Structure 1
């Protein structure tokens, strides 16, 4: 157990596992993933209680230092909230300075001691952001030379205020980060204002385009998934894959990634079918749907990571609930990864389900968030937005009899697996 000192000098024991964790993607102007903000919710505090105090921040630092920060944020950078108590503590020895940006919370009062401490940490190589800036106050002006990034919460900032403030901070050569970006329109507005980074789930929301058709390669993959779901012969599936040289090549490349975990290299479609089996083959075809746009320079990595994280998390929850039921876990994975296909294709989910035959339980989960799979999917979605989660989150955690310890472990496993897939997709 790690102990840190508060500003009052009292030792605070840091209990590592008493929080739920969320990592929220931060994208650049090309919508490529560059960082995650790590958010924590006190597991004992009741609904919608999100903490950013010393205990929460230090707990995740301690836990991440034990597991390796790469398991939490992969190859990206992690943004962590810090207040006066965190800044004046000695927990920074646990942080890889090249992998984190420290967010100074808006409620922190700037004092000479705080300024001196931040100056020392900057000299040591740490980077800082100012969180939830709403004005260029005296405190902001004092901190400005020491920070690299200015964050604006779009829920708290009218457009008139953004138009007034953003040129001042851009003139000071600060990077601008818009958080709570929920729509494509908000993203485009901030893009026009010169923002550098964007945090929010606008990229995961479907923008339905009338008459949108699947690309030939997407259509081929969907047809293969339908063949698998309808129990077509292996020979017919193999012929269908081999007809599409690009599909065949990409499938073999993907199934040889470390995330698959096969002990030897798979060199042919026949081998892939024999070694992986149909359920695993379906899984990698689903992943290929998200991976394909990345190859065309569309920067879809965030959607790929989110979909694969959801799929793996639902699979792991199912395994935790019913360890002997492999079918439950396989179906849960399918629900998780298919949950973003309407966004991927810009086609309503019901139209997608007309093209890919799925069982009613999967359809109910994707269309209505109902049934066991729907509850699992809802839990995953609530965890992504942990700071907004309410009573539903707590009831779902209880429904599946998961402790905070369970969920942190399952999340970290899902994060690590998803990041491995994304690196090799």
Structure 2
């Protein structure tokens, strides 16, 4: 049993959830499948928001996510959470499902006999630990190493020579290696060659433009259907297009027979499925299906699909908050969010993609230039994904949409849950 070791000076700290909001950053395995998220807590109590890992922030968000259910924040994945000495010596671990979290020991932690004893106690209780931002094999690292499973390296802080030495050393000690701040495919390849097990960063969301790249037959069929819907083609023409693609037919019927759609009886025909979904939902589903190509190659929970679905939902929810009665605003915002990663998906410039799929000028401007209200919503979502780098730009956008930190937190958790659910049912 985990003892209550909350220091008396921290015992009176209130769990003021409304002063914090949450960001999550994806962690991928060697197959580039999503396996975890690092959870970052941002202090929004007063003045410019700051990323923080102090006891108040950590305890607040943990308490709140435990009430929501951790699965709403991380889905089927693990959650990595930073812990310092104050958090380690506190009693917040009663809120944490030990099978769902990895505790990251921050690099500023000063190792003491009491800290080592506490970590050993938590390990015995079933908690897993990672060492964060390791840059040396100093005495503190050597003392902690037997108690941790994972060692994290920040690529920005590590010369290649030091990385080569330390990765070999920690691999020999049978530790899993995690590279963070992986921002380019070349960095990913280097870390893959060095034997890293996990990768954190947005390299997978960066477009790598390939000349002469062509869409797959399935993606071409989906783009054709999207244009038919935009041009208000009749139902028979849309049904005919769906039936020409066996994979689309199968996935459409699978979708409409899920509990979320709410069909009262089993739907077995494409025409019934199209009537049940309606044009707006069909368009949304097609946009999501564009990202499903890697799923056909056996990849589970592809990060690009999850990120695109989560962005789309977050923009839709922001639009609904701004103007609750304007359904068209919310639909367009969703389209901007989910299309914002199609240059990465297709390895094509966004302008070239927009030549193939018809969108309004305001949507086009948002995707190409991040301008207009949709562009500002998209920039807000992108800054939230990189909350540790966003600075005052994020605060300005939150004020622009008149969102309280509690509003934003609630919208984020809803978007996280929806995006993860879509990825699970699509792949």
TM-score, normalised relative to structure 1: 0.96
Tell me the equivalent position of 2:287. Answer: 286
Q: Distance in 2 between matches of 1:352 and 1:187?
A: 26
Tell me the equivalent position of 1:11. Answer: 12
Deviation, structure 1 residue 295:
1.4
Tell me the equivalent position of 1:89. Answer: 90
Tell me the equivalent position of 1:361. Answer: 362
Contact persistence 2:5–2:89 (CA under 8 A): no
Tell me the equivalent position of 2:191. Answer: 190
1:366-396 per-position Cα deviation (integer Å, ceiling 9, x unaligned): 0000011101111000000111112211111
- CA spacing shift, 1:399–1:263, aligned 2, 3 Å: farther
Tell me the equivalent position of 1:234. Answer: 235
Tell me the equivalent position of 1:104. Answer: 105
Contact persistence 2:36–2:77 (CA under 8 A): yes
Tell me the equivalent position of 1:20. Answer: 21
Contact persistence 1:6–1:86 (CA under 8 A): no
Q: Distance in 1 between matches of 2:276 and 2:370?
A: 33
**1:68 is the counterpart of 2:74:** no
| The 10-residue stretch of structure 1 (26-35 or 242-251) with the greater mean CA deviation from structure 2 | 242-251
Q: Distance in 2 between matches of 1:302 and 1:260?
A: 24
Q: What's the C-alpha RMSD, in Å, of the aligned pairs?
A: 1.6
Tell me the equivalent position of 1:411. Answer: 412
1:261-308 per-position Cα deviation (integer Å, ceiling 9, x unaligned): 555543322122222211110000111111132112355611110000
Alignment of 1:104-123 (within 5 A): 104-123=105-124
Contact persistence 1:309–1:414 (CA under 8 A): yes
Tell me the equivalent position of 1:126. Answer: 127
Deviation, structure 1 residue 259:
4.5
- CA spacing shift, 1:139–1:40, aligned 2, 3 Å: same
Tell me the equivalent position of 2:53. Answer: 52
- CA spacing shift, 1:335–1:258, aligned 2, 3 Å: farther
Contact persistence 2:129–2:150 (CA under 8 A): yes
TM-score, normalised relative to structure 2: 0.96
SS in 2 for 1:136: coil
Alignment of 1:193-212 (within 5 A): 193-212=194-213
Q: Distance in 2 between matches of 1:4 and 1:146?
A: 20
1:184-223 per-position Cα deviation (integer Å, ceiling 9, x unaligned): 0000000010100000000011111110000111000000
Q: Distance in 2 between matches of 1:246 and 1:340?
A: 22
- CA spacing shift, 1:403–1:206, aligned 2, 3 Å: same
Q: Distance in 2 between matches of 1:16 and 1:246?
A: 45
Alignment of 1:208-227 (within 5 A): 208-227=209-228
**1:78 is the counterpart of 2:79:** yes
Tell me the equivalent position of 2:371. Answer: 370
Contact persistence 1:7–1:84 (CA under 8 A): no
Q: Distance in 2 between matches of 1:328 and 1:164?
A: 53
Deviation, structure 1 residue 257:
3.4
Runs of 4+ with >6 A deviation = none
Contact persistence 1:27–1:33 (CA under 8 A): yes
Contact persistence 1:102–1:126 (CA under 8 A): yes
- CA spacing shift, 1:45–1:164, aligned 2, 3 Å: farther
1:33-89 per-position Cα deviation (integer Å, ceiling 9, x unaligned): 111000011012543611011111111110011100100100111000000000000
Runs of 5+ in structure 2 lacking a partner? none
| The 10-residue stretch of structure 1 (251-260 or 227-236) with the greater mean CA deviation from structure 2 | 251-260
Query: Number of residue pairs matched?
Result: 423
Alignment of 1:241-390 (within 5 A): 241-260=242-261, 262=263, 264-298=265-299, 301-390=302-391
Contact persistence 1:364–1:374 (CA under 8 A): yes
Contact persistence 1:291–1:300 (CA under 8 A): no
Contact persistence 1:314–1:332 (CA under 8 A): yes
Q: Distance in 2 between matches of 1:196 and 1:335?
A: 33
Contact persistence 2:78–2:102 (CA under 8 A): yes
Q: Distance in 2 between matches of 1:256 and 1:337?
A: 23
1:79-132 per-position Cα deviation (integer Å, ceiling 9, x unaligned): 000000000001111110010000000001001110110010011110100000
- CA spacing shift, 1:369–1:261, aligned 2, 3 Å: farther
